[in-house]
Structures are given as C-alpha cells and as structure tokens.
Amino acid sequence: MKSYSYILFILLFVFASCSHQTEITSPDGSLFVSFRLTDAGAPEYAVALDGETVIDWSALGLKCAEQDMTANFVLQGSDSRFHQETWETVWGEEREITDTYKEMVVHLRHSSGAEMDITFRAFNDGFAFRYSFSEQELKSLTITEEASEYRFTAEHQVWSIPWRTEYYEGLWTKAPLSAIDTVCSPVTIELQNGGYAFVHEASLRDYPAQNLYYADGALRTYLTPWLDEHAHIMPDKAYKNVPFPSPWRMVILTRTLPELVASRIMLNLNPPCRIDDTSWIKPMKFMGIWWGMHIKTMTWEAGPKHGATTANMERYLRFAKEHGIDAVLAEGWNLGWEDWKHFDFTTPYPDWDMDYLSKLAGELGVQIVGHNETGGNAADYECNLDSIYRYHAAHGIHAIKTGYVSPIVRTVNGLQFNKGQAGVRHYRKVIETAAKYHICIDNHEPVMPTGLQRTWPNLMTQEGVRGQEWNAWSVDGGNPCEHVTVLPFTRILAGPVDFTPGVFHFENPVIPTTRVHSTLMNQLGLFVCFYSPLQMACDLPEHYMEHADAFRFIEQVPCDWEHSLLVDGKIGDFCIFARQGRATDDWYIGGITDEQPREAVVPLSMLDQGKKYSLTLYRDGDDADWLTRPYAYNIEKGEVTCSDTLRIRMAAGGGFAAAILPKN
C-alpha cells in the first residue's frame, strides 16, 4: 500500500492537469511538499512523508471583500533556500534549539493585478506555509475567509475542543476526523499508520486566531470573526493594510509521540527575541492567595473572609522565604471585586498595605506577583497600561497575572471575541508595554499560544486550559483522571500552561460533590509533566505542612530546563517526562496516569556514563487510589547510574516524581 501511495503521488506530480508546479523536500529528504496551480489558477499543495501521501492536493488562498484570491493566479516564479542555525532560549524546555529547513517562496500574480507570495518551509518533522503581500498598488484587504485546508488521505482520530469553548477551558475528546465540528486550533491527530500530526498556527500577530472544521473531505480553516455593534458575527475576519504576512499554518508530522513532543517548529517560525537585555526575565515558582477563594474559605472582595490582607500576605511571604519559593501571588488586593464594574489596578483595599508588603518582600528576597483582573474590559485596561505598570514596577512587582473573565471582551473596537483580531492586538500591546517596565506576563483567558514567547520572552505562561480550579467547584465533579494525560499532547504542545498544580488536600467540605481526581503523587508528577516557566504551587501553606516530606519535591524542582524528553506515553492514558535542570547535571522525572493503574518503566540512559547519582523517589503507596487512598505514598532513596531502569507502580489516578542528582 505504501508503494502504491508513493507511485500515485509521483503520478499526480508528473501528470496533474495544472500549468505550473514546484516542490521542496525536508533537509533529510523524508518529507516532500509540492505546490501547483490548477488550470483555473487555483493554488494547491500536497505533502508526502516517507514516500506516502499524507495530505492530498489541498486548497490555498484568501477570499477578500475586494476580490477572491483563491483562483485566477499565474506563477511569476519561485525562490528556494536552505537555512540552519542554533539559537539559545531565554527560558524553556531546551536551552538550545536547532532550526533547520528548506524554504520555497512562490510568487503569484492575480488577474486583478494583486501580487501574493506563498512561503513554504519543510522541516524534518513537519511543514508550514503562510501568505504575504509586499508593497504594491493594492493598499488594504478585508479578509472574509481563508481557504487553507488539509486534505488528509485517511480517516484519522482527532483530539479537539469546540471553537466556542470559553477561554479554551474544555475537556479534550477524541473523534474520527470526519466527525468533528468546528473546533479550536490546535488539534492533535493520531494517524492510522501509528504516526502523529499536530495542526496549529505560529506567529499570530494582528490577525484572528484560526479554528478548524471538516467539510468535503478536508480539514478547513475558519478564522475567528469580527462582531458588529450588537455583538453579532460579521462576515469580516481581518482588516489588513498592505504589506503584511499572515500567521504561519503549521503541521508537525512525526512517526512517534516523543518526536511530536520534541518538535520546536512553532518556536522556530517566530521572529527572534526583540528584548535586548533579558536579564530581568526570571523563571520562578510561586504560591498565592488564590486556592482559598476557589474552595470558599476566602473571598476576593473585602469582608470578613477577605484573602488578600496585609497579615495574610505577610504569612505567605514568610512561608515562601522559609521554603525556597520565589514569589507569592495575591488576588483580590485592589478595588473593584465587589461589583466587577471597574477594577482599579493602582488602589488597594484598605486592609492591604502595598508599601509595607513590597518593602517586606524586598527584604525577604521574595517577589510579589501582581494580579490584574479586567472582567473582560480590555479597553479600559489598555488605555491605562502605562500608569498600571509604572505603579507595579515602582513597588518592585515585575510579574503580573492578567485576567479577562468574560465570554466576549470589550476591546477598543467594541465587544469582540478574545481570539479575534481585536483581541490579538490587545494581548500584543499588553506584552510589549509590559516589557518597557520589565514586567513579565501570566495571561489568563488568553488567545491560544503560537510561540510568541520567542520574540517577547516576558510572555512567560498562559492559561487557556481547563485547569486545577475546576477541581474546586465544577458541577461535574472536577477534572477526570484522564484529563491531565491528554493535555501534554494537545494544549501544552501550543506553549507553556498555567495549570496550577500542587493540591495537597483534596476534599472540599464547602462543595463536597467536587474534588481533585488524583493521588498526591500525581500532583507532584505534574510539576515535571506540565511545563511552565512561572510554575504555581497552588495550595494553602497549612495543607503543604500536612505532608511536608512530599512538599520537599516542590521546593526542589526547577522550572527552567536544559533538556526535556518524553520517556513514554499514550494520549489519554499516561505520560512520563524527564527533564534536566538548566546549567546543571540534575535530572527530574515525573509520571502521571489516568484511572487505570500501571507500571512505569523508566530507563535512565539519559544520565551521564560513569557517574553515580542519588535518587529520591516519591511514589504512590501500594494501596494508593485517587478516590479511596489519595494520600498513601512512599519516599525512597538510593543510588543509580545510566545503566539502571526504574520500575514504578502508578496507582489509579496516580503518578510519581523523582529527583536524580549527581553524587560528589
């Protein structure tokens, strides 16, 4: 069958009824991307991997109010080049990233006279393309539809969430490709031949986020639309001044799941860092006055149970200092929580002494993470960014968690989807303005990440996920065990995630029908399996002291890495990650499983030969179970080398964590 598919692809290449065709291969020759114009002048592309057609001839182009740019093109010529470089991240899952690809730019001229280029890049682990318009007589475009499609050649299985899922906070489900409705980008695809694909976008700037739907045998693009003054969906998707490039349309194609997780195509498709001095951008772990509000023991607004008081914050700051936690978040410190009509980001409640707390934090060497919840009023926030960030910087606050809790946000362009063009513009302005004041951003209710952190590394992490908070109050009982075993292969492939792991006390008497669906060791494993350079240990200090010996792993594990790898995993079942601390020889391993207990097998071949390491293993107890005995665990110590293999039982809803440090 493979040989037949390859012959068919070549025949299509040689004998296709089109006037112009060109192609490129990946640097290793395994991936083949072909472009053609049909007799009608319609641009199309096709992709083969290892001699097998993966994506058959698929449409390209843009439909605009001014003219339809999906046909009536002629090929003016094409250029190609080879690129290879290695660049260093400011922070990340890897210190160094290699960027190697072959590029082909096809120059098209439309019957209207408009000129459009399509750039293709072929990597060893996938491909990407984008549209661009150079300076020309055409000065602007109103894009009403993007014709980009992916005509996969088989009925694969797709992991996705619906496109109108508020804040992307949904449970990812698997369905046949032909059965999906309109879904968010990205999607993760399990190919029939055992390989994997990840369809997403990169370098999203001043353009609506893409969504995807299936029709007429192809996965097609649906751009997030503009809304009119009545918040009704308009046909217009993007208003663009010429010249401009579109975001990259990106497909990772790999034979194995570890290769999928290791791909860095999305980061490589973004421009290099725009911040000259990045020394102030520091990955860190933080705690926060936060979980208490979700379990209803504290409130955001002032009152008898107010969480963000001077006394409570001082308690958190001193606890963080004692246990080596870098920073403390406080939500509900500022005016506005009582009615959500107008948040004041420079005026504290009377029971919050900002001057005293910022001075204390400086003396302790613990940072304060600010919190700016807009209630969806992005326009008000945007108009006051300079004064807000100036206030925070003056109080030594150089990390801010932003929030946009509203299904439709109020932008400077009126009510709009947060992932529409207006929302994308707003988030970009926030990031760039924050950089001027040396402020890092943890963006909640975001647009889906697309690798912008390479260009603006002060965008350190984002939510965009059904996170830990759902385990405190969700009417469906909380996140099922499977949820956390899906995210590393779906949402987290798009970028760092503020999931807020680290709950140590699972029962909530205020909402007894909801609880955390995991063992305590599963919560430790999340600190390795879920990547975020701003990593929150979300529970209360007193809950951590109930299991102080297990909390030691949270104190120790870093959140910035030299190298990362997926040891083993299966989407929706389990995952095991190993990561090396940046600029160290220390390794940390974490594993999590769904509702099925299983044995984790972890070869330690990633360790240096000839070295001995001390092992501290945090594992589920023999009788542990997420529902009946979530707190049963053992801590074991030993010595290991690169020739050893760990075999660790993970309980139902369980997991493990390990710290492996070189011996002197």
Is 568 a member of any domain?
A: no
- Residue 582 pLDDT: 98
- Residue 428 pLDDT: 98
363 and 255 in a common domain: no
481 and 507 in a common domain: yes
Is 317 a member of any domain?
A: yes
**Tokens at 376, concatenated:** 């969806």
* Dihedral of alpha carbons 442, 443, 445, 448, sign: negative
Nearest CA-CA partner of 420 in 267, 231, 266: 231
Is 574 a member of any domain?
A: no
Question: What are residue 562's phi and psi, to 5 degrees?
Answer: -80, -40
384 and 523 in a common domain: yes
Residue 14 maps to which CATH number?
2.70.98.10
Is 47 a member of any domain?
A: yes
303 and 420 in a common domain: yes
- Report the alpha-carbon distance of residue 446 to residue 246 in Å, rounded: 20
- Report the alpha-carbon distance of residue 534 to residue 319 in Å, rounded: 18
Query: Long-range contacts of range 443-446, CB-CB < 8 Å, 24 or more positions apart?
Result: 443/401, 443/402, 444/167, 444/401, 444/402, 444/403, 444/404, 444/405, 444/498, 445/167, 445/376, 445/403, 445/404, 445/405, 445/406, 445/409, 445/418, 446/167, 446/404, 446/418
- Among residues 496, 526, 559, which one ends one of the domains? 559
Is 184 a member of any domain?
A: yes
Edge-to-edge strands of the sheet including 574-581? 561-570, 574-581, 587-593, 655-662, 613-620, 633-640
Question: What are residue 176's phi and psi, to 5 degrees?
Answer: -60, 150
pLDDT along the chain (664 residues), means of 10: 38 44 96 98 98 98 97 97 98 98 98 98 98 97 98 98 98 98 98 97 98 98 97 98 98 98 98 98 98 97 98 98 98 97 96 98 98 98 98 98 97 98 98 98 98 98 98 96 98 98 93 94 99 98 98 98 98 98 98 98 98 98 98 98 98 98 93
pLDDT in tens, 7-35: 334 444 343 334 478 999 999 999 999 99
**pTM check: above 0.85:** yes
260 and 302 in a common domain: no
Give the CA distances from residue 512 to residues 167, 294, 547, 627, in Å, rounded to whole numbers and listed in that order. Answer: 26, 13, 22, 13
290 and 255 in a common domain: no
352 and 251 in a common domain: no
Hey, is 405 helix, strand or coil?
Answer: coil
Is 322 a member of any domain?
A: yes
Residue 409 maps to which CATH number?
3.20.20.70
- DSSP calls for 350-404: TT--HHHHHHHHHHHT-EEEEEEE-TT-HHHHHHTHHHHHHHHHHTT--EEEEE-
pLDDT in tens, 303-346: 999 999 999 999 999 999 999 999 999 999 999 999 998 999 99
253 and 134 in a common domain: yes
DSSP 272: P
- For 323, the domain range is 284-559
227 and 355 in a common domain: no
- Residue 7 pLDDT: 38
- Among residues 559, 594, 627, which one ends one of the domains? 559
Kindly give the pairing relationship between strand 248-254 and strand 183-184. unpaired
Number of domains in the chain: 2
Give the CA distances from residue 618 to residues 139, 497, 544, 559, 627, in Å, rounded to whole numbers and listed in that order. Answer: 61, 24, 15, 18, 19
509 and 361 in a common domain: yes
- Report the alpha-carbon distance of residue 580 to residue 631 in Å, rounded: 28
Is 659 a member of any domain?
A: no
The residue type at 530: F
Is 150 a member of any domain?
A: yes
Nearest CA-CA partner of 59 in 43, 37, 36, 75: 43
Nearest CA-CA partner of 210 in 218, 219, 36, 69: 219
312 and 264 in a common domain: no
Residue with tokens 């992005």: 378
Active site residue ranges: 469
DSSP 349: -
**Tokens at 105, concatenated:** 């730019």
Contacts of 14 (CB under 8 A, 6+ apart): none
166 and 138 in a common domain: yes
- Among residues 490, 524, 559, which one ends one of the domains? 559
